[in-house]
Amino acid sequence: MGAQKSIHAGKAKIDVNVDFTHKLCASLRLPSLRNSGSPLSLLIGSLCIKHPNLFGGSEKLDVSWDKGLYDSNILVAYRRPRPQWVAQQCFVMQHSLSPEIGVHGIPVDNFSRSGSGGVNLSRLSVGLDLNEPASSKWSSTTSIKFENVRLLNDDGRSITRDLDGFPVTCSGNAHDSMVVLKQESQYAKANDRSFSRFTMQIEQGIPVLSKWLIFNRFKCVASKGIKVGPAFLLTRHAMLLTGGSIVGDMAPYQAFAIGGLGSVRGYGEGAVGSGRSCLVANTELTFPLIVFCCIQSKMLEGSLFLDCGTDLGSGRLVPGNPALRQGKPGSGVGLGYGLRFKSPIGHFQVDYAINAFHQKTLYFGITNLAS
């Protein structure tokens, strides 16, 4: 349902990918966010331009553009060669536009879906990424970036307040500006029987100017998986724990959104709640399915899962208290089952979940697509 083409122009390589599969996937789990009569609005695809030797000194330039149904992302990255034992530098400029559903989305169908709240997030960032040399188990990335965040309505016009008249920025103006220092550390350990992963992110808003945001945002993700059972029916049990908190200046769009695929399944994106703090736990049991004369398939797996999440009572601390105004419960539990299909072109995931309000939701996603 798509097309890919690589073009070589001198030393530059241009990768063009137009894919309609994402349109089908999104339509199964997202309600219509806006009405558009333009045929281009239905086009899903990506464009990537790579130059391996821009100025003759092995400098690399990557330019990519990704367009979804309702979002787009433009990324320019420039890298200069450095010795492997020092941090690798990358100059990055990025602009993204996406619906702000997690915080301002309106829950519908017993919180199983989230509709548009008329707020879209336009973010421009410019800065530097530093990738520290990785050890056998640890890796670290540090970045410092200037960010300008502007809120738009569904017609693309700048707004300062949401549909209920509450401010959507921290400054009260049409945009927020900030310099963000971010540190991310990752630990990974795996063998034939188990795996462990831990990620910690710390973001600090630096007060270069008095009107710029000052905050500290912390998030950690820990996961543990083990293989159990006999060799004939080898299952995997994995548990994921996510927590975070933010102190200092805060705009509503910076809140932790709880609910949806990757959070608490059975709910729409952000339909459980949004707060200054969050805690989400996911546990999943996967097992190979037996097909055709008791032959065990390594490509097709079944899964059983249980998700739960809470804003720890911090929803009322978000400016404007959007979660309370939209009637979000603040905590939720979802359970269900699904299928996992692994193929050379990508990993396909189908989940069927039910939430605490007995509302059922179907999720369909594609990850790790080959480029």
Q: Strands 194-206 and 175-190, how do they pair?
A: antiparallel
Secondary structure (DSSP) of 281-342? EEEEEEEEEEETTTEEEEEEEEEEEEEEEE-TT-GGGSTT-HHHHTT--SEEEEEEEEEEEE
Structurally, the chain folds into a number of domains equal to 2
Residue 44: which residues within 8 A CB-CB, separation 6 or more? 18, 19, 20, 21, 22, 23, 67, 68, 69
- Indicate if 154 and 113 belong to the same structural domain: yes
Which structural domain, as residue segments, surrounds residue 57?
Answer: 1-24+42-69
Asked if residue 29 is part of any domain, the answer here is no
- Residue 231: Cβ-neighbour burial (10 angstroms; 0-12, 13-18, 19+): exposed
- Indicate if 122 and 12 belong to the same structural domain: no
The whole model's pTM is what?
A: 0.85
Asked if residue 151 is part of any domain, the answer here is yes
Asked if residue 250 is part of any domain, the answer here is yes
Asked if residue 31 is part of any domain, the answer here is no
- Indicate if 65 and 92 belong to the same structural domain: no
Task: Report residue 88 CA to chain centroid gap.
Answer: 24
Asked if residue 34 is part of any domain, the answer here is no
Residue 226: which residues within 8 A CB-CB, separation 6 or more? 193, 194, 236, 237
48 closest CA partner among 80, 22, 81, 74: 74
- Indicate if 262 and 245 belong to the same structural domain: yes
**Residue bearing tokens 């979804």:** 68
- pLDDT in the model for residue 362: 85
Residue 363: its H or E element: strand 360-367
- Indicate if 56 and 86 belong to the same structural domain: no
Q: How far apart are CA 31 and CA 36, in angstroms?
A: 14
- pLDDT in the model for residue 28: 45
Asked if residue 203 is part of any domain, the answer here is yes
Asked if residue 147 is part of any domain, the answer here is yes
**Residue 234: how many CA atoms within 13 Å on its side-chain side?**
11
- Cβ–Cβ under 8 Å, residues 313 and 330: yes
- Indicate if 178 and 192 belong to the same structural domain: yes
- pLDDT in the model for residue 82: 84
- Indicate if 318 and 352 belong to the same structural domain: yes
- Indicate if 100 and 183 belong to the same structural domain: yes
Report the CATH number that the domain containing residue 211 is assigned in CATH: 2.40.160.50
- Indicate if 137 and 153 belong to the same structural domain: yes
- Per-residue pLDDT of the chain (371 residues), as tens digits, is 455 566 666 666 666 555 444 444 444 444 444 555 555 566 677 888 888 888 878 889 999 998 888 889 999 999 988 887 888 899 999 999 999 999 999 998 888 888 888 999 999 999 999 998 777 788 999 999 999 999 999 998 999 999 999 999 999 999 999 999 999 999 999 888 888 999 999 999 998 888 899 999 999 999 999 887 764 455 666 888 899 999 999 999 999 999 998 899 999 999 999 999 999 999 999 888 876 555 556 678 889 999 999 999 999 999 999 999 999 999 999 999 999 888 777 788 899 999 988 888 888 776 654 44
- pLDDT in the model for residue 297: 63
Asked if residue 33 is part of any domain, the answer here is no
- pLDDT in the model for residue 22: 44
- Cβ–Cβ under 8 Å, residues 102 and 263: no
- Indicate if 48 and 84 belong to the same structural domain: no
Q: Strands 88-99 and 120-131, how do they pair?
A: antiparallel
Q: What does the CA dihedral 285, 286, 290, 295 come to, rounded to 10 degrees? A: -130
- Indicate if 81 and 49 belong to the same structural domain: no
- Indicate if 173 and 59 belong to the same structural domain: no
- pLDDT in the model for residue 140: 92
Q: How far apart are CA 150 and CA 168, in angstroms?
A: 9
- The letter for the amino acid at 358 is H
- pLDDT in the model for residue 133: 79
